Structure 1
Amino acid sequence: MAHTMPVYNWNDVRKHVTKDDTWIVIDGLVYDVTKWKYKHPGGQKMLMNQAGQDCTDSWMAFHNDKVAVGKYLRPLCVGRLEASENKETELMKDFRELRATVEKMGLFRASPWFFGFVMFHILALEFGGWFIVYYFGTSWLALLAASLLLVTAQAQAGWAQHDYGHHSVFNNSKINKFIHIFLLNFFKGVSSSWWNYRHYLHHAKPNTIKKDPDIRLELFFLTGKVLPVEFGKKKKGFMPYAHQHQYWFLVLPPLLLPLYFHYEVPYYLWSRRNYVEMFWMASFFVRYVVMFKPFLGVAGALTFYLFVRFIESHWFVWTTQMNHIPMDVDYDEDLDWVTSQLKATCNVEQSLFNDWFSGHLNFQIEHHLFPTMPRHNLHKAAPLVKSLCEKHGLDYKCKTLFGAMRDIVGSLKASGELWYEAYHM
C-alpha cells in the first residue's frame, strides 16, 4: 500500500511546524503528530522541538520497544517522502549500522547484579548517615561525618534514578517508572515527571538555544559564542557577564539544589495539578523529619537537610555541567543525530573513581548517542564510537576530570569576554 500513500518533499513537511499543525519524519514516513503530541509521554514540547525534521535516530534512541510504540505511530502516518529527498548520509548510515552492532553485542542488556549493588550501597550509605547520629550523637564531628554519608547517598541516588528514568534497567517500563518515582520523589524529594520533562528535552536537542532547558541560564550566565554576542549587542540582561566566571562559584554550584530546585519543582507539579507526585515528594520531607527529629528537632532536621543539599549541589553541578557548558551552544541547525550530540558533549577519562563519582556520565558521548544503554556498558561502546568519529572527522573529546571542570570556568570567561566586546562595540 506504500505506493498509494501521498508523497511529500521537505518543503512540504516544513510547512507544518506550528503548534496547531505539527509534522515529523521517521524512517522516510511522514507523521502528523498535532494532536498526539499532547499525549506523548515526553511532553508536547518534545515533538514541537522536532517539527519539520527527520526524527529517525532520536526515535530509535529513546524507544526500547519499537514494536509497541509503532502501534501508536501507524494511525498518524499521512504519507511518505520522495525517494530523492532521503537525507541519509554516510555518517548516518554508519551510525545506524553501529547501533545494530551494539544491540547484537548485548550492550542494551542490564546487569541485575550491577544495579542491585548500586541500590544496596545507596541504602547502606543513607542508613549509615542516620546511624552515626543515632550512635554518636549530635556533636559537630558526628554531624559532619553523617552529612558526608548522606550527601554521597543522595548523589548516587541521583545517578541511579537517571538509569531508571531512561528505562535502561528493566525491560518493563512500569517497573522502571515505579523505581524512578521511589528514588526521585520518596528518596530524594524531587519529581519524576519534572525530571522526565526537562531531561528528555535536553537529550533530544542538547545545548540548543530555546530547546534545551539545561542551558536556560541567561538570568545569571551566558554560554557559548552566540548568546553572549546577542545579549551584548541588544544590551539585554542585568548581570555583569564579564565576571560570570567569578560569581559562578557563588551562584550555581551552591544554590541550585538547596534554593532553585525547591522553587521550580513544586511550581511544576502545582501548575500541572500533579497531586500524586506532590504527595510522594512531601513524603520525603516527612521521612527526613522522622529520621532526625529525635536528635535535632523539626527545625534542626530541616536545617541539616539543607546542609546536605548544599554540599550535594556542588557535586551535582560540577559533574553534570562539565560535559556540556564548555561545548558548542547554538540555535537548532537541524543537524544529524551524531553530529548534534558530538558538538554538545564530551567525555571524561575512565577510572573506577571517575565512573563511580559521575555515575558513568563520564561517558557522556556514548550516553547521548545511546540514552537507553545501561551505564555499565557505555565503556564497551566507546571504542566503536571513537572509531566512527575518526572515520568521519568528528571531534571526539575526552578530558581529565579536573580539566573538564576547569573548562567550565574557562568557557564562562570566554563567553563573558564576547558579551563585553559586543556590549561596548
Structure 2
Amino acid sequence: MTPWISIKDLKAHIGERVEIRGWLRNKRTGGKISFLQLRDGTGFVQGVLEKSTIDEELYSKVKKLKIESSLIIRGTVKEDTRSTIGVEISIDEVEIIHANETDYPISNKEHGIDFLMEHRHLWLRSQRQFHILKVRNEIIKAMREFYLNRDFKLIDTPIFTGSIGESAGNTFSMEYFDYGDVYLAQTGQLYLEAACMAQGKVFNLGPTFRAEKSKTRRHLIEFWMNEAEVAYYTHEDNMKLQEDLVEYIVQKVIERAEENLIALGRDIDKLKNVKAPFPRITYTDAIKLLQEKGYDIKWGDDLGAEHETVLSSQQDKPLIVEKYPKDIKAFYMQPDPENPDVVLCDDMLAPEGYGEIVGASERIWEKDVLIERLKEKDLPIEDYQWYIDLREFGSVPHSGFGIGVERTVAWICGLNHIREAIPFARTLYRVYP
C-alpha cells in the first residue's frame, strides 16, 4: 500500500511513491498537463499531473475541479529547488472525495476585512492564516513547556465567578439559577492565588472576557490568557519569571516555526534580540519622559496606547514599566513599602508598538490591608470572604502575572490587527461565525 504522508514530511521521502490527503488550493490546467496546488493542514505542495498518466475522463474531471474540493493524490516525490519546501509530486493517481458544486467564495483577489471576517470559517484555510495559527500553536506549546519544566502545576480556573478580579465596569453578568448574578471571568488570578497556597507554583491557560466597548487593533472581547502565581515570590522574582517566560516563548517559536514567520514577512533578527534581561523603567520616570517629549500627561494618568508605543519604540526587546499609582490599579496589588502611593506591579510592553502583553504584581498578603483596599474600591466584602480567608490561614508574600496569548501572537507574527491572532475573533460588533 502507498503510505499516507503529511506534506510537511515530504522532503524525507524524495524518490518514493506517497499518498497525500487534502484539498485543492489552486490549479493551472492545460491540455496535456495540470499543476495542482495542494494543502493538507500541515503544509503546501505542488502536484504535477500529466494527462497521459490517468484515465481521460478522470483528467477531465480534475480540470473542472473547483478550488477547495477535497481529493487524495498518489505519486512520486521529486526534488524541486524552486519550491518553498524543496519538493513537488509527480501525480499518477487521483481520487476525488468531494467536488464542490459552487465557486469558493474566497478567491485570490483582494477582499475587504468585513467579507473575510464574515467568512472566517473558510478564511482559516488560507496560507497566511495557516502560518499565523501554526505560530500560535507553538506559542501555547512553549508556554506549557516552560511551566512544566519548572515544576509548575496546571490549575484550571473557573469561567463563571462571583468575584470580580478587575473593574466591575467591564464584566459580562448573567443570572445563575437561584444564586443571583455571576460574571464571565476577567481573570483566573484570584483562584490561582488559592491554588499557589496549596501547590506553591501554579499556572492556567484559558479564555477570559472583557466587556469593553473598544475597537482598537489591540482589543478583543473574548481572548485567551496564561496566568501564573507563585508563593513566596517577590515583585523582583515576578519580573524575572516574566522575562524568562517571554524569552523562552520567542526563542522556541524561532526554533520551531521560523519558516512560518518568514512566510508572514516577519523580521526574524528583531525577535532574536529578545533575551533577558529586559530594560526597566518606573511609571514615574516614564511620565517624566513622556512630558519631556511634549505629551500632555500627568502623574496619576494611565498610559494609553500611544504612550506605550513611544516608550517601547526606543527598545529592541520588551520594556518593563513598574510601580504604577495604586489608584489606577486593581485592589489586590501590594503597596510599595518605600512609597505607599504606588504598588509593586509591572506591565511588560512589547517592542514595535504592540503594547502591553503582560500585567503583573506582588499581591497583598496582609488581611487588614486587603480589606481596606476592597473598601476603597467599593467592592462587597462578603463576596470576597473566601479570598480574604487566604490571608487568615498561613498567608505568605506571593506574586503573579497574566500574559495575553493574542497580543503575544500579534507581536511575534508582526500582525497589524489582533483579530487575526485568534481562530474566531469576538469583537465589539462580531460574534459570527
As a proportion of its length, which structure holds more strand? 2
TM-score with structure 2 setting the length: 0.21
Higher relative contact order (CA 8 A, sep 6+): 1
TM-score with structure 1 setting the length: 0.22
